[in-house]
Amino acid sequence: MFGFAATLKAESLSKSIDSQNWAIRWQPAKLVNGTPIVFRVRPPAKLQSLCGEWLKHDVYFSYDTKSKMWFGIGGVSLETNPGTFSLQLTGVTTRGKKLSFEKRIPVKNASYPSIAVTVAKQYTEPSPEQLKETAQDKTVKQEIFSRVTPEREWSGNFVAPVDARISDVFGTQRKFNGAVQGTHQGLDFAVPSGTPVAALNSGTVVLARFMFFEGNCVVIDHGQGLMTLYLHFSEFKVKEGDHVNRGDVIGLSGGTGRATGPHLHIAVRWQGIYLSPATLLSLKLP
C-alpha cells in the first residue's frame, strides 16, 4: 500500500512539474529561412541535462550560470517553407526525473536579392579533368561536413573576420555568365589580397587546402555541428588539426578559386545547412 501511494505521489509530482511554465526565448526574434538561432530555456525545475530537436536536427544545450538559463544553437535552412515548427525539449532533473516540453515557433519567408555575375568559363563549363577534381572535392567536403560532435568548442559572441565593407550578402540568387544558376551561401567582404583574416570563434581546423571552386579554403569546426568556412585565401596561416581561438589569424585573403577578384567569402554551416553569417555575427551569446 505504501509503495502504491509513493508511486502516485511521484507521478503527481512529475505532472505538477511538467505542467509548470517553461520560459523559452529565441534570437533573432523574427525567424526566417536561412537564419541561425540561439535558443534560451529556463525549465520549471533544476536540470542536470537538456537536449532538443528542431527541424529534425539535434540542439545541444549548455547551462549559463550568469543568466541561469540553458542555451543552444539551431538554424533554419534556405529551403524551409514558411510555417510553424516545433522545438522539442527533453530534460533530466537533478533528482533524475525526465521532463519534456514542446514549443511551437513561427518561421517567415525572407526576401533575397538577385544579381548577374561573370566568371572564367572553366567555372561554368569545366573540362573532364576539372569535373574529376570537383568530384574529389565534393567527397572531401561531404566527409568534413558530416561531423557532428556534442562538445562545444565555441564560446561567447562570434566576431567579424575582417574590418571591411560587405560586398555581397547571404542568399543572393546568382546567374553566372548569363546561364548557370546558383545561390550565394555566404557573406563577402571587399578586401584586397593579403588582408589578415581572423577566426570567428574558437574551434579546430578540419580543412586547410586548395579546392577548385573555393580556392585556398579553411574550415573550422566549432563543435555541435557548427562550422565556419573561409574561401579564396592567397596564403594559409594554419594547418589541419590546429586549434584556434577567436580572433586568431588563419590566413590571408586572395582571389583563388571561382572568384571575380580578390575578396573574402565566409560561410556558416550548422549540421549540414548553410546559414546567414551576418545574423550569426549579430547574436548575443554567453
| 141-153 tens-digit pLDDT | 889 989 898 899 9
pLDDT band at 122 (very low <50, low <70, confident <90, very high): low
DSSP readout, 81-137?
PSEEEEEEEEEEETTS-EEEEEEEEEEB-----EEEE---GGGTS--HHHHHHHHHH
Give the predicted TM-score (pTM) of the model. Answer: 0.86
What DSSP state is assigned to residue 223? B
Note the CATH number of domain 114-282. Answer: 2.70.70.10
Is the model's pLDDT at 40 over the cut of 50? Answer: yes
Q: What does the pLDDT read at residue 9?
A: 41
Name the β-bridge partners of 58: 53
Q: What is the largest CA-CA distance in the chain?
A: 82
- pLDDT number for residue 8: 37
State the pLDDT at residue 150.
87
Q: 4-22, pLDDT tens digit by residue?
A: 344 434 433 334 445 468 9
pLDDT value, residue 61: 97
**Residue 229 predicted with pLDDT over 70:** yes
- Lowest-confidence region among 72-76, 118-122, 223-227: 118-122
Instruction: Tell me which architecture the domain covering 2-107 has in CATH.
Output: Sandwich (2.60)
Domain layout of the chain by residue ranges: 2-107, 114-282
pLDDT at 112: 77
* Predicted local confidence at residue 28, as pLDDT: 97
SS3 content of the chain, % helix, strand, coil (to 5): 15, 45, 40
Q: Average pLDDT, stretch 77-96? A: 96
Compute the average pLDDT of residues 114-121.
Answer: 59
CA distance 273 to 75: 8
Convert the pLDDT of each residue in 188-212 to its tens digit: 999 999 999 999 999 999 999 999 9
Of 80-84, 144-148, 196-200, 269-273, the range with the lowest mean pLDDT is 144-148
Give the mean model confidence (pLDDT) for residues 268-277: 96
Q: How confident is the model at residue 184 (pLDDT cuts 50, 70, 90)?
A: confident
| pLDDT attached to residue 134 | 78
